[in-house]
Structure 1
């Protein structure tokens, strides 16, 4: 009511003193979350005493007036009182009317993006407080089910299917523009970022070649990006799938791999792992071919990359924004040997000419026309030439956001790869359709009354086929802030590649949420839940596969420390789709793999991703289960302690080694997790500040499991449970299983780094410094 009173006072002042001197104050309040700034206009009467002419800045000016006769004084007072009553009555009528108007609005119907906003210019000043969500969880899931339909996916799959959309190409950029326009149409405040990255492609005028002795085997069109270049002549050795156990077998039977050309069939492990393994055993080149006699024709070309890492390998640890210049550097994951794909027909020509020892039963393959495989002899010489070239390529990532009302600066990211070497129907088209359909559905939910507490960011990545380049460059560009704001990443890459199994790879923090979701979402046939249908109520079957480096969620988890998940409806034979990297990754083959029910599996996949995201932005407390890491830590510490006891009894250590402090650190984490649960149970969760403080403690867990003792530039995947390097728990366990007395200092360093990483995570989870466990 201060406004009308001050206006009345101004009227009285005008009557007695003539025109009053006043000032207007402009306060520019910048929104730190990146929204447009707004101007707040306040008059001098708003909570402040009126300033006289000197105080207002009119120095030296005198205020004069002519005194009126005394007999007019009462008349003036009556007029002033009448004016005051008039303004008070008007204010009360306006206030009541304004309240009734606001009471009739649905929460979120105006798309407000924060807890309170300043009213438009000309309205009564004050804050519009966003009400608490009025929809319960069953309302939200029912709404999502209604808005995600099989028919909609049919349309989107047809709309986004393309023959070729390699990263940086015109088709890739065209898809980026289409997605950006969709996000604009949904009023999602879209944006994009551009990166200039080094991609390796075949030379346009100098083809890659393969010869057996002097006979030309072929000039393949398919290739492996980031191979070393040049020419190698060496004996050919058949190395099965190129797994470590395959190469160790060859070594054990006397096959010398030094300076050899390893002939390897696709499958089991990534192309990059095959090349890295062969390099460890001294091979000079690798030839990889697809081998599925009943699925591929002999001329099917295979494409991929062999960077044992993610992102642009020529800016390791740095973002590739706008040709940013860094000292010349290369990722340690770049191979130093040649790598090339060949067709099944080319592989058949080589196998039929090979001699030497007969391959074991486990090495027997499926190439038509070969009854027995051989490992190769000293006289079987193959010449390989790789002429790939590096190109500086602009790629574009596209984003849209549905903003939260309470904590808009905290968000879950849902992402999908957009590019592909070929048609990439299962690899990228399905994921892109899932992305835009989820964006459409959740945007509509918000219009119908859904009030998310936190935000959802939708991301379309480019250069995924080159090793998650677009996603990794974005993570590198915002490394300092993403782990504090993004609390989960959900990957949609390869979400539907079959219809017989459901598999997921995830941070332990997301296990409980995933299980709850699978117990709510119906299977494509609508007869039971996904948990009942695909896990037979044994949830551990879903989590049998650890997250791999080629997984779209891997850099988020192992590089940035963001709880992440990828999942897939897959075949019983393999979680990897056999047509990846070929032109046979098309609608026809995916329809066969899903029993002609692709669109129904798309709906189920969208429900899984959508319900997980909605639960994460709906509840007061994040659905990230910190106790899951208690179990994982205890399991690994028990294994380590058992190995230490065995080594001590066997006398295989130069000096005593004890697990005491590691066990204590594990206990500290368990107590901190239990303490957090107790804080949640005893807190008023409707207190936004209290909930935010608790959620911040939860969000830091994954990031605190990135080893602080190694550089992200030198060792990008620093997660002690999911990363790669000597600092990881798996490396410590492997070292204990095969100890070398000369590595005693390394072993103790591994022990210390593991201990203090876990203890540091426990300390931060405990909260305030006075709540810490001081046993160490």
Structure 2
């Protein structure tokens, strides 16, 4: 019809007297575009007010005679004949154009490819496949037997980050993604890491005895030599050091001997540094895990993630890096030692007896227990590659869930990396096959990522986040971590953003399997979810920077042993045989269930109209923190430690604003037409703002990378406010009233800003604050 109108315009007016406005609207499938043409001209007015009928009749006020109707005048007869011919031509043109459009449309069954013919493009927001059918398809694609050849393919004795073994595995993953028909790419970084000395060694000498040269090491330790007295500090937790202080033990310049476990190596060293210690020795105690008295431990002590020599920005080649380093790098020495070396030291310590429950009839050490520690680690630059593949969505292709796994390890790293990489590959194969052969059409995209340098502190993943932070904002709406998904069989633990708790709990109830592993998984689902399944997301978890640095809702999970860590983590003994021992030879079955669990969550997130994220979950967390802060301020107000003008009123109102905004979003969802694609996108964007807007905009990502005020770390968090109030109450020297007031105000406005963003339109904002 648009072409016909243009033809008419030319017939009546010759050259067009109008402008043409083209509005290009992208088809939601991304395959075609429609052109809407609107005409606005004098011609349109003539056809209406001064149309053809009036132009043919100049005596419109007088009734025409019979002679005029019969066209007795030659001039009128010619005019009427021309008009009749013109109408005939117009009708012919319209018929021709309509017929030609039909001929050009790809509707001829004989000319179509059978595969293309079977594709039905989505025109609304409703999914083309029922969710129950999606679940069944995934279950059909995954079997335990399929994991054996995948395990074999990705197993490697030596694949430390940046090594030829790591590069070989990266190529295998890339080839798999390409084999599955996925769009692939790689992400190259040049990072600085610490390795043990190439010549010489790290060493220590206790009480002028035999020199010990451990082979294990802790990357990012300070280098040098220190001499001091040894003190035993159990697991090196803050509570352990406070107990030593209560016993009047001076920890300044001491060398602290601590067990592995409970908290990360980096946290142990950071806690010791706060106490004024000069060095930390870490070992695996046989009473926790008997892994052999000569087994070496490996790890890192950076209180952060990523390359610590490019904090806050990516380690791309040729980037001009300023001479800075992460504030999370320790300034004291740190070294691992074997259980035999540690036991020899503990047996000779003098001083006070160990507190009850600290593991042995030994002493805590005194000034006579002298030791010399020397660390000579070497800082090296390594090229690492992250590998990616994507299954693109059919509606919101620019919104995606990321699924990732660490690829490198200190040794064989079967539980640390092989299982996760295998699960990643099997998920990519299964979902790609569902899209290619079974008609499944995800609404949003799925990005599969294989990270390098995970053992050095999630370096590959963090550098990617730093490099593409602005691109990921409002696009990557979730991260699913596959590291350590199988380390035991008697427990199941999940650490995640509160936004994802409901999705996780629902997934646990839905995922099942006919084998014993599936039955076991169902039993986990029946337990108290908050008490027995959920655990905090720790800073050494690969999902942590996604959540606390980038504001992307994230989840990390795995089958575990009850109340016990996998004993061979951070060692070169992490092999298939050791993992079989920890799981009762059920590695393949547990890997299958873990794959179903991750796949179920990912598919739910890319299938449904609306993202399965519960914005009300944060409401209780915020209210709890505000209540605790209010109680602390009330308890010390009588001592006049805080100015009278300081009030919790504004933080309480900000908390209320978030609560109202969250409830309003739930109401808007209930009232919305889910067949409206644009409406669904608007609602999903409001959901996606929540996590990102809990990142404090008032602190530098270089100085405080984990800016999340509820789940991050640093002085800007609500937990830090509580600790600061406790320091004020106990008259600690570091307590600062003015600093607290500043942090308090900024945290208040961060909560209010998140509430405002969640509310949506500017005219919908809650201005009660």
Q: Secondary structure of the residue that 2:183 maps to in structure 1?
A: coil
2:410 to 401, 404, 421: 421
Q: CA deviation at 1:634?
A: 1.3
1:360 to 351, 355, 361: 355
- 1:56 aligned partner: none
Alpha-carbon distance in structure 2 between the residues aligned to 1:546 and 1:82: 74
- 2:392 aligned partner: 403
Q: Any residues of structure 2 matched to 1:612-691 within 5 Å, and which?
A: 612-649=601-638, 651-691=640-680
More displaced 10-residue stretch of structure 1: 327-336 or 677-686: 677-686
Instruction: Please list every run of 5 or more consecutive structure 2 residues that lacks an aligned counterpart in the other structure.
Output: 12-21, 41-81
Alpha-carbon distance in structure 2 between the residues aligned to 1:451 and 1:101: 25
Q: CA deviation at 1:216?
A: 2.6
Contact kept? 1:8, 1:87, Cα under 8 Å: no
Alpha-carbon distance in structure 1 between the residues aligned to 2:248 and 2:513: 51
Instruction: Please list every run of 5 or more consecutive structure 1 residues that lacks an aligned counterpart in the other structure.
Output: 13-26, 50-72, 116-128, 366-371
Q: Does residue 552 of structure 1 match 2:547?
A: no
Contact kept? 1:209, 1:219, Cα under 8 Å: yes
Alpha-carbon distance in structure 1 between the residues aligned to 2:197 and 2:106: 75
Alpha-carbon distance in structure 2 between the residues aligned to 1:671 and 1:146: 43
Note closer, same or farther for the CA distance 1:107–1:351 as it changes in structure 2 (3 Å cut): farther
Alpha-carbon distance in structure 2 between the residues aligned to 1:725 and 1:645: 24
Q: Does residue 495 of structure 1 match 2:489?
A: no
- 1:753 aligned partner: 746
Q: CA deviation at 1:509?
A: 0.4
- 2:49 aligned partner: none
- 2:736 aligned partner: 743
Q: CA deviation at 1:80?
A: 12
Alpha-carbon distance in structure 2 between the residues aligned to 1:529 and 1:517: 14
Q: Does residue 477 of structure 1 match 2:467?
A: yes
- 2:457 aligned partner: 467
Note closer, same or farther for the CA distance 1:85–1:314 as it changes in structure 2 (3 Å cut): closer
1:239 to 228, 233, 236: 233
Q: CA deviation at 1:259?
A: 1.1
- 1:19 aligned partner: none
Instruction: Give TM-score scaled by structure 1 length.
Output: 0.85
Alpha-carbon distance in structure 2 between the residues aligned to 1:4 and 1:436: 54
Q: Secondary structure of the residue that 1:166 maps to in structure 2?
A: coil
Q: CA deviation at 1:414?
A: 0.5
Q: Secondary structure of the residue that 1:335 maps to in structure 2?
A: coil
Q: Secondary structure of the residue that 1:573 maps to in structure 2?
A: coil
2:370 to 367, 371, 381: 381
More displaced 10-residue stretch of structure 1: 351-360 or 269-278: 351-360
Deviations 1:247-291 (A, max 9, x none): 112222122221111111111111111111111111111111112
- 2:506 aligned partner: 516
Note closer, same or farther for the CA distance 1:253–1:154 as it changes in structure 2 (3 Å cut): same
Q: CA deviation at 1:95?
A: 3.9
Q: CA deviation at 1:245?
A: 1.3
Note closer, same or farther for the CA distance 1:132–1:676 as it changes in structure 2 (3 Å cut): closer
Note closer, same or farther for the CA distance 1:86–1:331 as it changes in structure 2 (3 Å cut): closer
Contact kept? 1:289, 1:341, Cα under 8 Å: yes
Contact kept? 2:527, 2:533, Cα under 8 Å: no
- 1:97 aligned partner: 107
1:569 to 556, 559, 567: 559
- Quick check: which has more Rg, 1 or 2? 2
Q: Does residue 694 of structure 1 match 2:674?
A: no
- 1:594 aligned partner: 583
Q: CA RMSD in A?
A: 3.6
- 2:135 aligned partner: 141
Alpha-carbon distance in structure 2 between the residues aligned to 1:78 and 1:758: 70
Q: CA deviation at 1:244?
A: 1.1
Alpha-carbon distance in structure 2 between the residues aligned to 1:698 and 1:175: 37
Q: CA deviation at 1:222?
A: 0.8
Q: CA deviation at 1:514?
A: 0.5
Contact kept? 1:8, 1:83, Cα under 8 Å: no
More displaced 10-residue stretch of structure 1: 497-506 or 743-752: 743-752
More displaced 10-residue stretch of structure 1: 317-326 or 536-545: 536-545
- 1:585 aligned partner: 574
Q: Any residues of structure 2 matched to 1:141-220 within 5 Å, and which?
A: 141-220=135-214
Note closer, same or farther for the CA distance 1:497–1:108 as it changes in structure 2 (3 Å cut): farther
Contact kept? 1:258, 1:282, Cα under 8 Å: yes
Q: Secondary structure of the residue that 1:340 maps to in structure 2?
A: strand
